[in-house]
Amino acid sequence: MPDDANNVGTLFGGQMISWMDLAAAKVAYRFLQGTGIDGALTRAIENVEFREPVYPGEWVNFEGFVSKAGNSSFEVVIDAYAEGLKVKKRLACTAIITMVAVKKDSNDEYVKFPHGRSL
Ligand SMILES: CC(C)(COP(=O)(O)OP(=O)(O)OC[C@H]1O[C@@H](n2cnc3c(N)ncnc32)[C@H](O)[C@@H]1OP(=O)(O)O)[C@@H](O)C(=O)NCCC(=O)NCCS
């Protein structure tokens, strides 16, 4: 949408990163289903690469998977594909997002928590 554009008329990178973070959260919640944790927080966003511009009127689809599992953390790879009415689907942006599983402690604060998941 026009509100998502930067001053050269293509998708604003900050908007793209926000959508990628949301996509990573969805991957995270699937990964953590049934573990008893209360949520997951983004700890790091790395290797963001804007490979192709995205133009107004196009849509963006996100694909993601868990690539590494640590103790409380896990790494999510997100690929963003742009597609339009007259142009083929193309890889527009990639990122690696580290999420941390959290649980509420006795002070009502969210703290890291071992998720117990492996790949
Ligand atoms: C996420 C949070 C609860 C982690 O708690 P913490 O006590 O700082 O935890 P640690 O520093 O031990 O890091 C937790 C895990 O992340 C990993 N980690 C820390 N920094 C990292 C980085 N830059 N890149 C990749 N992994 C990292 C650690 O290795 C550890 O992994 P492990 O448990 O699998 O061994 C805390 O840092 C926090 O609340 N951060 C703010 C989160 C936030 O507001 N995000 C934006 C909104 S979603």
Q: What is the pLDDT of residues 68-101, one digit of tens each?
A: 999 999 999 999 999 999 889 999 999 999 999 9
Q: Could you tell me the CATH number of the domain that includes residue 49?
A: 3.10.129.10
User: Which pair of structure tokens corresponds to residue 61?
Assistant: 């689809």
Domain annotation covers residue 118:
no
- Residue 94: what are its φ and ψ, rounded to 5°? -130, 150
Domain annotation covers residue 70:
yes
Domain annotation covers residue 35:
yes
Query: For 14-40, how does the pLDDT look when each residue is reduced to its tens digit (9 = 90+)?
Result: 999 999 999 999 999 999 999 999 999
Rounded distance from Cα 10 to ligand 1 centre (Å):
32
Q: Ligand 1 pocket, 100 CB below 6 A?
A: yes
Q: Ligand 1 pocket, 102 CB below 6 A?
A: yes
Range of the domain at 74: 2-112
- pTM of the predicted model as reported, rounded to 2 decimal places: 0.96
Domain annotation covers residue 78:
yes
Instruction: Tell me the C-alpha to C-alpha distance, in Å, between residue 57 and each of 3, 19, 76.
Output: 11, 16, 28
Confidence at 45, pLDDT banded by 50, 70, 90: very high
Let me know: does 63 contact 89? Beta carbons within 8 Å.
no
Chain centre distance of CA 118:
19
The number of residues in the chain equals: 119
Rounded distance from Cα 21 to ligand 1 centre (Å):
15
Domain annotation covers residue 86:
yes
